[in-house]
């Protein structure tokens, strides 16, 4: 099997009808049978998710990849998820991301060099009192860093358990790279905002809340965020409440602390899906998460009123890089024996990152 170098989508896929691309994908699935698995994150586009063998949130997809024996995993999600899949599968299994440009801007907000530099400064200040935790929305190198320093990964489904787990090991937690998930989780566990500081990797400074005492800081949040979820505001929630007082607001914990506090409920994509499933017919829901999922939930629950908290909310642009064209192209190439955009994590990094992932998977 030949491993390909990055290339551009051939023009003819843009000209092909959707029906033809769909037929090609179906043919490839029939051709490979059990040798092909297509996992799809809940934020994937409708035309792509129809081909997913399994849909899930970040935790469910990581668990699936640890259990599958399929030789080829064509991952419909973003780069950090494909990296995780590669690290949790054997050397004989191959993970392909249909478009290499499907990254995650949040994961890009913490580089390993910035993290090492922050660690040096923070351990100098606080001594050996800190345990690092990283949201799975991070590079394999950041996961390896956490593995190396006794820490673990978390997802939005298990963050509370993992923060509690971390505090059972050390008096302080450093949470990468999403400050909002870290703050919302710690606050839900009863930690006041005055005990949380933000590490700014650009100024190389710890930003303290007004009046805080540095000695009392026990949660160090990395200054990163999700550009999709940060767009939800308290103002939007107020508008919904003014217009429709009976509507319930449910948001993802990647939203800001103020938004999560103003909402009725907050939780991972899996939690949002389950809440909607269990909701009574006739209820009304304003949802603060990625638009593909909101649109899908609206379609799946015609007996309920389901709409986005942000009326002109944009999609996650990188999740949307995986489209029919790229899925059809990557599967066509795979049938020719070519693995376009195979994701492989260097073994020394993968070994330490697996330790961080294993600590999470053993705890949840
Ligand atoms: P979950 O799948 O853990 O809910 O995370 C949402 C997300 O932003 C994935 O990138
Ligand atoms: Fe990254 Fe946010 Fe997109 Fe998730 S929704 S992949 S965190 S940018």
- pLDDT tens digits, one per residue of 146-183: 999 999 999 999 999 999 999 999 999 999 999 999 99
- Residue among 85, 87, 59 at smallest CA distance from 156: 59
> Where does a domain end: 183, 205, 226?
226
Q: Is residue 156 domain-resident? A: yes
Whose alpha carbon is nearest atom 6 of ligand 2? Answer: 104
Could you say which ligand is closest to the alpha carbon of residue 292?
2
| pLDDT tens figures, 15-28 | 999 999 999 999 99
**Does one domain contain both 217 and 261?**
no
**Does one domain contain both 213 and 252?**
no
* C-alpha–C-alpha distance, residues 189 and 129, integer Å: 19
pLDDT band at residue 345, thresholds of 50, 70 and 90?
A: very high
**Does one domain contain both 186 and 259?**
no
Task: Work out whether strand 196-200 and strand 205-207 pair parallel, antiparallel, or are unpaired.
Answer: antiparallel
Could you say which ligand is closest to the alpha carbon of residue 269?
1
What is the model's pLDDT at position 58? 86
Q: Is residue 364 domain-resident? A: no
Mean pLDDT over the full length of the chain: 95
Query: 87 phi and psi, to 5 degrees?
Result: -75, -25
| pLDDT tens figures, 58-93 | 888 988 998 999 999 999 999 999 999 999 999 999
Q: Is residue 301 domain-resident? A: yes
Q: Sign (positive/negative) of CA torsion 330, 75, 143, 265?
A: positive
Tell which atom from ligand 1 comes closest to the C-alpha of 269: 4
Q: Is residue 146 domain-resident? A: yes
Could you give the 3-state DSSP secondary structure of residue 284? strand
pTM over 0.75: yes
List CB contacts of 89: < 8 A, sequence separation 6 or more. 65, 66, 68, 73, 95
| pLDDT tens figures, 104-116 | 999 999 999 999 9
Q: Is residue 362 domain-resident? A: no
How many whole angstroms from 216 Cα to the centroid of ligand 2? 32
> Where does a domain end: 308, 329, 357?
308
**Does one domain contain both 222 and 275?**
no
What is the model's pLDDT at position 199? 98
Which CATH number covers residue 23? 3.40.50.10800
What is the model's pLDDT at position 63? 86
**Does one domain contain both 289 and 243?**
yes
**Does one domain contain both 198 and 122?**
yes
**Does one domain contain both 217 and 244?**
no
Mean pLDDT on 261-287: 97
- Judge if the beta carbon of residue 318 lies within 6 A of ligand 2: yes
Q: Is the pLDDT of residue 143 over 80?
A: yes
CA 306 from centroid of its chain's CA atoms: 23
Q: Is residue 277 domain-resident? A: yes
According to the annotation, is 308 in a ligand binding site? no
How many whole angstroms from 289 Cα to the centroid of ligand 1? 9
**Does one domain contain both 173 and 130?**
yes
According to the annotation, is 135 in a ligand binding site? yes
Q: Which two tokens stand for residue 199?
A: 């590490």
Q: How many CA atoms lie within 13 A of 327 on its CB side?
A: 36
**Does one domain contain both 16 and 95?**
yes
**Does one domain contain both 173 and 273?**
no
**Does one domain contain both 74 and 183?**
no
> Where does a domain end: 157, 191, 226?
226
* C-alpha–C-alpha distance, residues 131 and 63, integer Å: 24
Task: Centre a 10 Å sphere on the Cβ of residue 361 and count the other Cβ atoms it contains.
Answer: 17
Q: Is the pLDDT of residue 361 over 60?
A: yes
pLDDT band at residue 6, thresholds of 50, 70 and 90?
A: low
According to the annotation, is 269 in a ligand binding site? yes
Mean pLDDT on 299-308: 97
**Does one domain contain both 13 and 76?**
yes
Is residue 356 within 8 Å of 152, Cβ to Cβ? Answer: yes
How many whole angstroms from 157 Cα to the centroid of ligand 2? 15
N-terminal to C-terminal alpha carbon distance within the chain? 37
Range of the domain at 243: 229-308
Q: Is residue 357 domain-resident? A: no
Q: Provide the number of structural domains found in the chain.
A: 3
Mean pLDDT on 288-313: 94
Is residue 286 within 8 Å of 307, Cβ to Cβ? Answer: yes
pLDDT band at residue 5, thresholds of 50, 70 and 90?
A: low
Q: Is residue 152 domain-resident? A: yes
- Judge if the beta carbon of residue 228 lies within 6 A of ligand 2: yes
């Amino acid at each position: 099997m030949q491993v390909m170098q990055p290339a551009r989508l051939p023009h003819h896929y843009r000209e092909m009808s959707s029906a033809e691309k769909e037929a090609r994908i179906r043919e490839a699935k029939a051709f490979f049978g059990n040798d092909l698995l297509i996992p799809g994150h809940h934020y994937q586009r409708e035309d792509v998710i129809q081909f997913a063998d399994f849909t899930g949130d970040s935790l469910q997809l990581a668990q699936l990849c640890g259990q599958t024996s399929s030789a080829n995993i064509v991952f419909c999600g973003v780069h950090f998820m494909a990296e995780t899949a590669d690290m949790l599968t054997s050397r004989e299994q191959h993970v392909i991301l249909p478009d290499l440009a499907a990254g995650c801007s949040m994961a890009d907000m913490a580089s390993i060099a910035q993290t090492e530099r922050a660690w040096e400064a923070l351990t100098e200040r606080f001594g050996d009192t800190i345990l690092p935790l990283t949201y799975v929305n991070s590079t394999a190198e950041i996961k390896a860093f956490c593995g190396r320093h006794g820490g673990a990964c978390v997802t939005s489904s298990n963050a509370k358990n993992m923060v509690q787990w971390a505090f059972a090991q050390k008096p302080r937690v450093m949470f990468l790279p999403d400050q909002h998930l870290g703050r919302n989780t710690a606050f839900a566990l009863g930690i006041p905002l005055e005990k949380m500081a933000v590490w700014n990797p650009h100024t190389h400074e710890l930003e303290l809340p007004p009046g805080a005492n540095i000695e009392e800081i026990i949660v160090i949040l990395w200054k990163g965020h999700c550009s999709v979820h940060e767009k939800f505001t308290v103002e939007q929630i107020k508008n919904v409440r003014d217009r429709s007082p009976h509507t319930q607001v449910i948001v993802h914990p990647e939203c800001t602390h103020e938004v999560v506090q103003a909402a009725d409920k907050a939780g991972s994509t899996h939690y949002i899906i389950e809440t909607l499933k269990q909701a009574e017919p006739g209820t009304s829901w304003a949802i603060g998460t990625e638009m593909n999922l909101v649109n899908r939930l609206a379609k799946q629950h015609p007996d309920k009123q389901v709409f986005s908290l942000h009326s002109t909310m944009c999609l996650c642009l990188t999740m949307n890089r995986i489209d029919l064209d790229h899925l059809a192209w990557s599967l066509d190439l795979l049938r020719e024996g070519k693995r376009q955009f195979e994701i492989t994590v260097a073994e020394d990094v993968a070994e330490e990152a697996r330790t961080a992932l294993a600590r999470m998977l053993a705890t949840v």
